[in-house]
Structure 1
Amino acid sequence: MLMNISEIINEIRKVLDEKDEMREKALRLTRDIVRLSGDCIKALHRGDLEIAEERLKMAEKLVSELKEILTEHKDLYFTGYVQNAHQEYVEANLFYHYLLDEEFPHPKEIGIPETAYALGIGDFIGELRRYFLNLLLNDKIEKAQEVYAFMEKLYDELATLEYPKGLVNIRQKQDQARYILERTLEDLTRAKINKNLEKKLEEWRNEP
C-alpha cells in the first residue's frame, strides 16, 4: 500500500513540477506585458506614436505566448497576476486606438478573456482622465470637453454590466470610474468658469 502512495506522489510531483515551471514563465511574461503596456501609455501621452505602436506590438506577442504556454494550465491562466497583465494590455490597446480615432479591437481579436477586457475598460477611463488633465493644462478646453463626453458614454456602457463579484469584480471598477467622472466634471466646470472670467476681464480691459 505504501508503494502505491509513493507512485501516486511521484506522479503528483511531476505534474506540480511542470505547473511550477509554467508558473515561473507566466510570471516573467506578465511582468513584461505590464511594463510594455505602461511604456506604450507613457509614449502616447508624450505623443510618440511610433514608440507606442512598437511597445504595443511587443506586448501583443507576449500575450499570445502567455496564452500558448498556459493552454494546458487553465487554472494558472485565470489567476490574478495574469488577469492584471491582461487588464494593462487592454488599457494600452484601447487608449492607443482612441487617440488614433480607430475602432476598438474585440476581445477575441486580441486574445483576451472577456472579463479581463471589461476590467481593462475601467482602467481605460482612468487613463482618459490623465489625457483630459493634460488638455486642460494646455488650455484645450473644447477638446477636453469632448474627452469628458466620451468618458461619460463609456461609463454608461460599463455600468450595464451587473454581475456578482465571484464572476467578475466589475463593481469596484464601476465605482472608481464614477468617482473619476465626478472629479473630471468638477475640473471641467472650474476650467470653463475661469475661461469665461478671463474673457470678461479681457473685454473689460479693452473697453474705451
Structure 2
Amino acid sequence: MGRFVVAGRTAGGAWYVGYRVSSRSFPNRKIVTRADRAMVVPTADAAPTDNPYISYNCLRTCEGAIVVANGSHVDPIIEKIRAAFTACNAARDLTLNRSRELIRYCSLTIRAVHREEFDEAAQLLETAKQAAAAMKADIKPHPELYYTGYTQDSLKELTEACVVYAIVRGQPLPAPADIDVDEAAYLNGLAEAASELRRRCLDLIRRDRVAEAERMLTAMDDIYAQLVTIDFPDALTGGLRRTTDALRAVLERTRGDVTTTLQQEKLQKALNQVMSHVVK
C-alpha cells in the first residue's frame, strides 16, 4: 500500500513513466491528466474532506523532462479556492440583480401608497417580500454576501416600504422578524420611512386633510424619538446616526409646514366668524 512509481518502456519501445497511489484511509481517488501534469484527485463518490493532502500533483513535465514527486499541493488547493470563488461570484451577480429587482418593487409600492392605490400597493409589497426571500435563498450558501452593501440596501428599502404602508394604512408597525431583516437594515429603513412620510404630509395638507397630516407628523416624531436613543458604533448600526440626523432636518421642516397650516386654519376660522358678525 502507498505510492508507486513505474518507469520503463512500452511494447512499442517508447519510454513510459507511471504513478500509482493506494490508500486504506482515502481509497476513493483517481488520477486525471492535464496538458502538463497528472493529478491525484478524489472520485465523485468520495466523502467530503478538508484534508489538503488528498489531492496533489504526482507527475509534471518540465522542459522536456518528467518530474515524478510525492506531490505538490498548491495547484489542487488553488483550484478548490478558484471553484469556490467562481460559485460565489455567480451568486453575487444573481444577488445584485435580485436586489435591484427588490428595490424597484419597493419603490413602486411607496408610489402606489402616495397615490392611495392601496390594493396595488399591497400586491406590490407582497411581490417585494417574495423577491427578498428569493434573494436570501440564493445567498444562503454564501453568507458573506448577506452583509454586502447592495443586499443590505435592498432589505432597508423593503423595511421602508413595509413601514410606510403600515403607517399610512393605520396598521401595527412590523417588527424585524415580520419582515425577516436584520436589526441594522430595519432601523435604517425605519428612519427613511419616517422621512418618506413628509411627502405624505404635504399631499394631505394640499387636500385639506390636516388632521391626518398631524397623524403622519406624530408617527415621524415617535420614530425619531426612539432612533436617537440608539447610540452604538456605525459598524453595528450601518450608519444609522447619519440617517437619523437627516431625519431630524426633515422632521423639523415638516413640523413647520404642519404648524403653519394649523395656524392658517385657525386664522381662517377667526376671519369667518368676524365676517359673519359684520354681515349681520
1:116 aligns with 2:188: no
Higher helix share goes to which structure?
1
2:256 aligns with: 186
Q: State the distance in 2 between where 1:185 and 1:191 align.
A: 10
For structure 2, the 5+ residue unaligned runs are: 1-56, 58-70
The counterpart of 1:57, out of the listed 106, 110, 126, is: 126
Higher RCO, 1 or 2 (CA under 8 Å, sep at least 6)?
1
1:129 aligns with: 198
2:266 aligns with: 196
For structure 1, the 5+ residue unaligned runs are: none
Show CA shifts across 1:119-139 (max 9, x none): 110011011111111111111
Note the 1:148-163 alignment, pairs <5 A. 148-163=217-232
CA shift, 1:63, in A, is: 0.9
Contact 2:167 2:219 in 1 (8 A): no
| Residue identity (%) | 29
Contact 2:194 2:219 in 1 (8 A): no
| Greater mean deviation of Cα atoms: 181-190 or 101-110 | 101-110
Structure 1 length-normalised TM: 0.94
Structure with greater Cα Rg = 2
Show CA shifts across 1:39-94 (max 9, x none): 01111111111111111111111111111111121111111111110011001111
1:43 aligns with 2:109: no
CA shift, 1:20, in A, is: 0.6
1:29 aligns with: 98
Structure 2 length-normalised TM: 0.71
Contact 2:204 2:213 in 1 (8 A): yes
* Number of aligned positions between the proteins: 208
Q: State the distance in 1 between where 2:211 and 2:121 align.
A: 25
Q: State the distance in 2 between where 1:100 and 1:47 align.
A: 10
1:13 aligns with 2:82: yes
